[in-house]
Amino acid sequence: MAYGAPRTPCPPPHPDPRLARDCEHCLGWGTVVTRDGGHELCDTCQRDPVEGDRA
């Protein structure tokens, strides 16, 4: 019998699907599952923009 995911006070992360489309690390999902069973944004495709690139 399946019980579903445990309740957590933190909502799951919301990835940008446009960035995740061709990512081989997360297979296009934009998130990865941690060893603890939680979800995190993919480090490969969901990086924050670099502040120094702005002109």
Residue pair 32/42 in contact by the 8 Å Cβ criterion = yes
> pTM for the whole thing?
0.63
Q: What is the mean pLDDT of residues 3-27?
A: 83
Q: Which residue has the tokens 């690390």?
A: 25
The ranges assigned to domains in the chain are 17-45
pLDDT band at 45 (very low <50, low <70, confident <90, very high): very high
> pLDDT band at 55, cuts 50/70/90?
very low
Q: Are 46 and 20 in contact (CB under 8 A)?
A: yes
